Amino acid sequence: MSKRQRRYFDAAFKLQVVQMIREHGLGVSEVCRDMKLGEPRHEAVARSGPAR
């Protein structure tokens, strides 16, 4: 069994995810499913406020 490699996301990508959730009214689950992401990580990003 091989170990999965950890993925890293830059600030621009995180901002895009937050904008999709907040400005376009999409749900966290919907955005994560569309972008093939794990939901828990991006729920935290969405709650954290605007990207700095």
Which band of pLDDT confidence, cut at 50, 70 and 90, is reported for residue 52?
very low
Q: Determine contact, residues 42/28, Cβ cutoff 8 Å.
A: yes
Token pair 């828990």 is found at 40
pTM score of the predicted model: 0.57
Whole-angstrom distance, CA of residue 51 vs CA of residue 25: 17
User: Which structure tokens are listed for 29?
Assistant: 């689950």
Q: Where are the alpha helices (DSSP H) in 4-51?
A: 11-22, 28-34, 39-47
Which band of pLDDT confidence, cut at 50, 70 and 90, is reported for residue 49?
low
Which band of pLDDT confidence, cut at 50, 70 and 90, is reported for residue 24?
confident
Q: What is the pLDDT of residue 18?
A: 86
